Structures are given as C-alpha cells and as structure tokens.
Structure 1
Amino acid sequence: MFADRGALADSPAHDLALDCLAAGIEAGRPARAVERNCSVDGDVLRIRDAEYDLSAFDEVVLLGGGKAADGLAAALENLLGDRISGGVVVTHEPTADPERVTVREGEHPEPGEGSVAGASAVLERAAAADERTLVLAAITGGGSALLCAPAEGLSVRDLRAVTRELLDAGAAIDEVNAVRRTCSGVKGGGLAAAAAPAAIVGLLMSDVVDDDPAVIASGPTVPTETDPEVALAVLDRYGVDLPTVGAWLRDASTTSAPDVDVDNHVLASGRDAVDAARDLAADRGYEPCVLARRLGGEASEAGRFHAAVARELAESGDPVEPPAVLLSGGETTVSVTGDGDGGPNLEFALAGAAALPDGAVLGAVDTDGSDGSTDAAGALVDAGTVGDADADAASRALAENDSYAFLDERGALLRTGATGTNVDDLRVLVVERPVRF
C-alpha cells in the first residue's frame, strides 16, 4: 500500500504504525463497507436494518459522486449484478470500473468544468426516474466539489473561489458546506428532488467528523432548508470577501427543504478506520487507546497534543502502559498564511515530530491518499525527524505552510496513490517503552 515501505519500516514501531494505517484504510474501502452492511436474499435488498423489495421496481439506477463513488458503484454491482439498470457517478481519480454505471471525472478539492458536466449528467439521469424506479445514491466524501451545479446567477468559477478562500482560512467542513449547499442546485437534497417520485435510498461513506448525512458531500440526498444569512455569516467569520458570491447571497431568499422522502444509510466512516487500527494493535500485543474519533481543530496544535500525550505515556504510563498504540480520527484544518505545499496531516506530523520522545513513532494519513492538494497521503515521523539542528527549519516550514518539502527531504512522506476510499483522517502513535526524562 505504501510506496518505499522498506525504507519507512526501519523499526518494529515504524512497521506497526504502517500496518495500523493500512488496516484503517482497508476497513474504509467501499467493498468492505458493502460487505458489512448490505446483502441480498432473493428479491430483498437489506441495507443495515432496512429492507427493500426489488420486485416492486422496474429498474434500479445508481447515481452519485465522491472520491469513493466509483468503488461503491462497483461494490453494489457485485452485490446486485444485472439488477442494476445503469447510472452515473462522478469521482476524482477512478480506482474502479463498474460495468453498468458510467464513471465521470471531476475536480477536487475545488470544483471545475468536469464537476459541472458530471453533476449535469447525474441530474439528467435522475430526472428520467419514475415511481417504478429505485435510485441508489452513492454519496461519499469529496462529493461537494465533484458534484457541482451552480445556482442560477453563479458560475463554477465563483464556487471554486469561495471554496478555496474558505479552506485557506481554516473553515471547518460543515461551514464550507453550508455555503456550498446554499449556492447549489444538487446539494441539500437537490439530487433527491430531481429523482422524485422515484424511491430514493442514500448509501453514504462519511468523511466528516459527526457523520451527519447533511454534511457529507453537502447532502445531495438530505432535504435541507437553505438560509443565505447562514452562508453570509460564514463568509464574514473568515473574512472572505467575494463580491459576486456576496451579492448573490444578499439577494437570495431562504428556500424550504425539498418535499421528498429519502432513506439515508451511512455505510462507512472514520470510526471503522480507527477501530480496525485498534484491533490490529491489540492483536500484536500492544495496549490500544483511542484518544478521539472526532478530533478537529488546528492540525499543528493537534500534532503537539499527540506528542505531549506520548511523552506522558512514556514517562508515567498514563493513560496506558507502554508498549501502546494511541489512535485518533476526525479532520483537522489548516489556517493558511504561507504559500508552501502541505496539508493537515503533514502539518500535524511535522508539529508532533518536534516534541516526540525517543522510541515513539507518529503516523497520520488522509484515507483518500491525498493530503491537501499534495501527492502524499500523510507522513510517518519519529524523534529523529526534527533534530536540534532542524528545529528552526521545521518552525519556518510550519509558518510558511511548507510541511511537504521539509518532510520529503527527510524521507518521511507516505504515498499510496488514490486509495478508492475517503473516511476522514487516521492517526497512529506507537510508544514502545518507557522513557526517563
């Protein structure tokens, strides 16, 4: 899974950290999610605790978008076979090739023309559905950018700019999506409204902290009222001043939630990744400890916190005795003040490396395989990554948001390529033995 693994796994602690990260990513793959939550018995499709009679429909259509949408489509095809009549999904870097569902490519993390064309194809197919159609909506993380249908009066350029400004300002994903939802014809239940009167079932893979279906991909299958004042408040909070978007929001009116019934099921989330890593650590004889499955906040501060916990564990045996593996999930943010390259997991790892005790190894990845806009999933660091002679350079790299270059020079980057999933970030901290300071 990890490129150059042999060079990275230079101790048992490094090896274990890599295995835990790999286990978490594997647990979040669409095929595993469908295996855990879906089954077919005769004409009955079971999704978690719900049952759907396939004989009641003339066709089953699969529509959606997100970084794992193609993999989810392929997994559902494997389950349902020729019961699936067709469909369209939009993704970023395809890793699966379903036979009956067309895979379109869009742009991420900012929407582009491919995202608009893909969303248009999805909505057109949704509009062709009738009351004898079962629409399975494959919605995964990344869908906010990949399914882009600008509201009348706005362009993809406007939505790209507001997305970039908010992300650079360190806005949380639910805040970014509150703006995108208001400015969109597909989010906030727009896909479900287009498919009515079909029966609509959302199959979701979460990349957001609380697994809120309305926030995952900005909720294409979750009918939601939109309030321009809420979106304007988010822009105000982060000092984002885009005249076209601001003027449009000030002229817009609150819209009611689309009147359509939808069953939404979350099939996978960051919890699955954390739990898989925890179980592997326990199997290897380490004491696992989940610090948080929903960690947010500034990435560099979270990295320093993990390093502080590692020092406490190594010195006093709190919160667990070593050898131990500490774990966290969730999604941190970066307030961009420099013009370097990096992402939340790279900043987390670099900030943590500067304060790690000897014998501790810290790994962090975005489970989709791309941290920020880089080609690295994350990084694997230890106390030697930032030596005394490197302390000033590490501080400058963090100040300039250039963690990628610093970690690349030290062979600490983790590269996986597109993983075919997207279930939040995963962090693994291995402490082998007590350390006396």
Structure 2
Amino acid sequence: MNLLEKTEIQQLLEGHTPQNRKRREDALLIMSAALTAVDPAQAVLNRLAYNPASAVLTVGEYAYDLNYYKRVFVIGAGKAAAPMAGALAQLLGERVTDGAINVKYAHLGGAPVGSKIAITEAGHPILDMNGVAGTKRIAKLLKATTPEDLVIAVMSGGGSALLELPVEGVTLEDMQALTAQLLKTGATINQLNTIRKHLSQVKGGNLARMAYPATLVSLILSDVVGSPLDVIASGATVPDTSTFAQAWNALEQFGLTAEDKGFKPLVPEQILKHLQLGVSGAIPETPKPTDSLFANTRNIIVGDNRVAAQAAAQKAGELGYNTLVLSTFVEGEAREVARVLAGVAKEIASYDSPIPKPACLLAGGETTVTIRGDGKGGRNQELALAAALALEGLENVLCLPLATDGSDGPTDAAGALVDGHSVSKARAIGLDALTYLAQNDSYHFFQRSTELLKTEPTNTNVNDLTLFLVW
C-alpha cells in the first residue's frame, strides 16, 4: 500500500516548506513499507506452498497430503480474514470443499472470488447479530467434520468481536453491554479476551474443540503485543491458560462486579452468574494445553507487529535515516506513552542519542485510552495529540502514530501526523489542544486542523506503529 497515492492524504503535505514536505513524504513512505510487509494475502502465501502434482500442502515445517483428506474447509474471522481466505482460495482452488469467514463491515478487500467460502460482514468492536449468525454457520461446518477432514482457519485482529457464540443463558445484548463497559475502563486486550473466552462457545480453544477430530491448521496474523497465541482473536484454536477466576478478577479490578448505586450490577447479571459458576467449578473450564484434542492442531503466526516495524526501519534506512526500533511491546496510556516517546525524540534532537540525526525512531504495540471526556477519537489520535503538546516549539521533529488496520477506535481515521508547530497552528484557529485532550476529542481537533491520517481499511491488523522523524 502506498499512502502517498491516496488523495485525502495529500492535505497532510500542503502548506509546508519543501524540506518539511519531504520529511512528511518520507514518513508516509516508511509507513507504507510497514503496511506492505504485513499484507495478509502475501503473509499467508509466504508461509504456504502447494504442489498440485503431489497434492502436498506445506505450511511452515508441516506437510499435509491433501489426497489423504476427503474434504478441506476454510474458516476464520478478523479484519484481515478476507484477503487471507482469498490467498488460500487462490492457492488451493477446487481443493477447497466449503468454508465460512466473518469480517468487519467494509473489509472485503482481497476476498475470495468465485470460491465456496461464504463471507459474513459483522460488527466490530461491538458484537452484532451478523457476527453471531456467521459464527453459527462456521460451527455448523465444524460439527460435521471427521478425522478425514482438514480445516484451515484464518485468524486476525478483530476476531474476538467478529467470531462469537455466547454461552447458553448469555445473550447478544449481554455481550454488547459487557464489551461497551470494558472499552470505557481502558481494559487491556488481554483482560478483555480473558473475560470473553469464558463466556463463549468458540473462544479460548473451543473452536478447536468443535473441529475435533479433524486436522486443524490455524494461520494467525497477530494484533497482540508479543503475539501470545492464546490471546490473539481470543485464542479460538489455542489451548487456554486463563481461568474463570482470572476473568472474575478482571471484572472486579474495574469495579464491574459491584452494584451501581445499589440498584444493579454494572454488567448483566447472567454474565456474573455464569462466571461465578465457573469459579466454583460447577461448569467446565476452557480447553487446556494437556487436552488431547490439540494433538492434530497447529497454530502458526504468519505476520505481526515486529515484521511491520522491521520493514519500516529498512525503508527508513534506504531513505537515509539512522533507525531504531525502540520496542514492539509498547503498552500503557496513550498520552503517557506519547510523552515518553517524545522525550526520546527530544534526546535525539538535542544530543544525537541514542541515535544521531537524521533519525527514525519506531515503536510498536497497542496503547489504551481511559475515557474521561465525551469526545471522539482513538488511541493513535490521542497519542498524536499528546505528542504534539510535548513537541510544541521544536523544529525538525514530526510524529506519526498509525493503526495498521486503518481504523483508529470508533473513527474513520488511522492516526494523525503532527510536528512541533501543530499546537500553535491550531491555537491560531481557536483550538486549545489541552482542552481537546482532556475531552478525549482528538478526532475533532485533528479534523479541524487538517492533520488526520485517513487510509481507509488496510485489510491488515498488526497493532499500532508510531514513528518519529528527527533531522
């Protein structure tokens, strides 16, 4: 993906000196390289090989003789599921017997054309009826499998919301209410998924339980810091190491098990009841690593944040920058992370340390936002606004935080591109950056200051990537 080819992004280059315009173009080229490196279809094809003559499918270090299997199913869910499934359809052709995937609305780029793989568009980050209906379709396929079947799952970020079949007694509305409450608290993706896995018939290894006794190969594009298999897309095909007790404790941590002013719990009572039954041992745990159902299951990471960060660093080097990937494990409050990263950029600007100018500093991961106001925005936009405040008055520094899926929070923006003049320029048109930050209203701030980065859906998702250029 070349971000410079997008018309709406051109506004980020207008009104700047030739030198500043060039640096902004560099930033967009560097991020373009990162997105290209984690293109979902290519990520799948990079790890798979198929020989039609021998009918052998090689997946990483594993080989599967398709002549042995009577049927091949393709299932999955996530923002990148369409191009991942499209790559499989392209590679295997008529060998695919049937399939079903769930994708986020408007994330159909690269979808399998003319194949037998059915696609359901559904809601994200809040589960909707389409997501449940699509998951029921997947479950119906899996429940009919035998030891002579091969199931290939394509899983990516967003799969936690898009692939869901609540446990008996818990409704779609209950899950929507729970997710909305957790998103407000600033819960980490790990905490969110631990809770959802224990309220689901498909998460936390339960999808693998459905597929058993078929052979299962899961191709995973990671959107979780460090790529822990049991967390990505809520570990639907992976042994679950979390427990009902941890799920309950996470709710307790955010005060969601207490009553609201003495009237009712902050999350639906049926959810609390189910988790309490699990804690007491009255209902079984999610499948654990010792479960024999995982004997014929393989889970393979095909792309993650580190791949994107390394590609960005390589491109930056080609453009003449000294590069440093500071970390791909960045977590924490977006505004606090912004101040820390801006501090490193200031160190480079002042002392040529830890790398000399011209420098490209990269950090990957996924921050969180604790909602304090009633504004609109996402973690990358909030990080950009806090960084703009930290960089105010500095020459020759810019910052670009990017949601690699092209959708930052509940907005149509992927991030924002700011520099040391962003705050003063906004002030000149009546915008106070501190007020907007206090209201969590970064989207409207950057919309008015024309610094929003809009990529449209990228059809990939490997967390966030933040770039600082210093020259």
TM range (shorter): over 0.9
> Which runs of structure 1 show a deviation greater than 4 angstroms over 4 or more consecutive aligned residues?
none
C-alpha distance in 2 between matches for 1:114 and 1:150: 13
* CA-CA distance at 1:116 after TM superposition: 0.6
Q: Pick one of 123, 127, 139 that aligns with 1:123.
A: 139
Q: Structure 1: which 5+ residue stretches go unaligned? A: 433-437
**Bigger Cα displacement from structure 2, 13-22 vs 77-86:** 77-86
Counterpart residue identity of residue 242, structure 1? V
**Bigger Cα displacement from structure 2, 74-83 vs 238-247:** 238-247
Structure 1 residues 355, 46: closer, same or farther in 2, change over 3 A?
Answer: same
SS in 1 for 2:213: coil
SS in 2 for 1:4: helix
SS in 1 for 2:440: coil
Kindly provide the CA deviation profile for residues 218-271 of structure 1, in whole angstroms up to 9, marking residues without a partner as x.
011013266322111001111223141223311333515164121000101111
Q: Pick one of 428, 434, 455 that aligns with 1:395.
A: 434
Residues 219 and 302, structure 2, Cα contact 8 Å, conserved in 1? yes
C-alpha distance in 2 between matches for 1:388 and 1:414: 17
Counterpart residue identity of residue 211, structure 2? A
Number of residue pairs aligned between Structure 1 and Structure 2: 432
* CA-CA distance at 1:103 after TM superposition: 0.8
Q: Pick one of 318, 323, 332 that aligns with 2:367.
A: 332
What's the TM-score once normalised by structure 2's chain length? 0.89
Alignment match, 1:76: 88
Alignment match, 1:114: 130
* CA-CA distance at 1:426 after TM superposition: 1.0
Counterpart residue identity of residue 359, structure 1? N
C-alpha distance in 2 between matches for 1:7 and 1:400: 25
SS in 2 for 1:429: strand
Structure 1 residues 256, 107: closer, same or farther in 2, change over 3 A?
Answer: closer
Residues 3 and 416, structure 1, Cα contact 8 Å, conserved in 2? no
C-alpha distance in 2 between matches for 1:135 and 1:112: 25
Alignment match, 1:435: none
Structure 1 residues 12, 397: closer, same or farther in 2, change over 3 A?
Answer: same
Residues 431 and 445, structure 2, Cα contact 8 Å, conserved in 1? no
**Bigger Cα displacement from structure 2, 91-100 vs 109-118:** 91-100
Q: Pick one of 11, 21, 33 that aligns with 1:7.
A: 11
What's the TM-score once normalised by structure 1's chain length? 0.96
Alignment match, 2:206: 190
**Bigger Cα displacement from structure 2, 64-73 vs 356-365:** 356-365
Alignment match, 2:306: 271
- Is 1:35 aligned to residue 67 of structure 2? no
Matches within 5 A, 1:362-401: 362-387=399-424, 390=427, 393-401=432-440
SS in 1 for 2:327: strand
C-alpha distance in 1 between matches for 2:221 and 2:35: 13
**Bigger Cα displacement from structure 2, 310-319 vs 219-228:** 219-228
Residues 205 and 266, structure 1, Cα contact 8 Å, conserved in 2? yes
C-alpha distance in 2 between matches for 1:6 and 1:427: 20
Alignment match, 1:353: 388
SS in 1 for 2:97: strand
Q: CA RMSD in A?
A: 1.6
C-alpha distance in 2 between matches for 1:427 and 1:389: 22
Structure 1 residues 425, 4: closer, same or farther in 2, change over 3 A?
Answer: same
Alignment match, 1:171: 187
**Bigger Cα displacement from structure 2, 278-287 vs 219-228:** 219-228
Counterpart residue identity of residue 419, structure 1? T
Residues 404 and 463, structure 2, Cα contact 8 Å, conserved in 1? yes
* CA-CA distance at 1:326 after TM superposition: 0.6
Kindly provide the CA deviation profile for residues 153-187 of structure 1, in whole angstroms up to 9, marking residues without a partner as x.
10111111111211211111001000000000000
Alignment match, 1:24: 34
Residues 223 and 259, structure 1, Cα contact 8 Å, conserved in 2? no
Alignment match, 2:272: 246
Q: Structure 2: which 5+ residue stretches go unaligned? A: 257-265
The percent identity for this pair of structures is 39
Alignment match, 1:91: 103
**Bigger Cα displacement from structure 2, 233-242 vs 249-258:** 249-258
C-alpha distance in 1 between matches for 2:349 and 2:367: 25
**Bigger Cα displacement from structure 2, 41-50 vs 293-302:** 41-50
Counterpart residue identity of residue 77, structure 2? G
Alignment match, 2:248: 232
* CA-CA distance at 1:388 after TM superposition: 8.1
Residues 340 and 401, structure 1, Cα contact 8 Å, conserved in 2? yes
Alignment match, 2:59: 47
Structure 1 residues 360, 195: closer, same or farther in 2, change over 3 A?
Answer: same
C-alpha distance in 1 between matches for 2:363 and 2:66: 39
* CA-CA distance at 1:378 after TM superposition: 0.8
* CA-CA distance at 1:78 after TM superposition: 1.5
Residues 226 and 329, structure 2, Cα contact 8 Å, conserved in 1? yes
C-alpha distance in 2 between matches for 1:102 and 1:174: 30
C-alpha distance in 2 between matches for 1:203 and 1:14: 35
Alignment match, 2:220: 204
SS in 1 for 2:348: helix
Residues 399 and 418, structure 2, Cα contact 8 Å, conserved in 1? yes
SS in 1 for 2:11: helix
